[in-house]
Structure 1
Amino acid sequence: MPPAHVAVKAGGAAVVATLAALSADDRQFLLLAAVAAFGLAALALRDVLAPVRVAADAEGVTVVRGYAGRRRLAWPEVTAIRVDERRRLLMDTRLLEIESADDLFLFSFFDLGADVHDVADALERLRRHALSRPEG
């Protein structure tokens, strides 16, 4: 996770919390601002606790699961690596999908800090290389 993204989320939480404190007389705004500040702070904390969302080596891939948990998948457990691209409301979204028999893990550019196509290509090269090695 790029440090700038973490800083923006933490700064946003601080700004919204300050706005909430300054608007204590407006209960609706206070509630909305408090929820927004809490949400941004939670996202920033997640980025600090689990800054690397996907890590791979010759044996397999480790992905973040849930808030900050991790799951290790050996390459034979990975059934697909692909990029899902969609266009909605004039916005293009690209998500890296890492699929196993029982789970699907989704990662965006903001999760990876890199282009999802580049990450998918690198993971697929590692996977093909690992699966082509003779057992021994």
Structure 2
Amino acid sequence: MANNVYLVCWESHDYFGIGVQIQNLAGDVYSASETLIQLDTGYSGELLIPELIFESLQLDTWELPISLPTYGSTITGESFSFRQAPVKIIIPKINKEYYATAQTFNGCTRLLIGRAFLRHFKVILDWQGKQTCLMVPKT
């Protein structure tokens, strides 16, 4: 198996994360360079973004209908409904793009990659090396 994959890693001292770009369906990108986004295995969705990014990418243009509500809850038990829109997550280091659902909620300031997106990969959390690595198949 080692001959069929290679590692792509991101250094991080405070949290585990991978570098991505977020693109709306019109092709507008949130940041010209990759943004290191924290991995959160406690978040079941694909991508949680701050309300400010949702608005700056004009994701309300593609917002999924309220008839498909999704709810979340905080650690204290407070529940809220997500706003959702399709986006493209670009991982420049591996030259790959993935369609995903971005979620936000009123007052959201967090930027997280969750379990639903991580299922695409084998992820290595290197505590000693202070880095996050993806095992990428060679093509």
Q: TM (normalized to structure 2)? A: 0.26
* Structure with the larger RCO, 1 or 2 (CA within 8 Å, 6+ apart): 2
Query: Between Structure 1 and Structure 2, which shows a larger proportion of helix residues?
Result: 1
Q: Please tell me whether Structure 1 or Structure 2 has the larger radius of gyration of its CA atoms.
A: 1
State TM-score, norm by structure 1. 0.27
Name whichever structure is richer in strand by fraction: 2
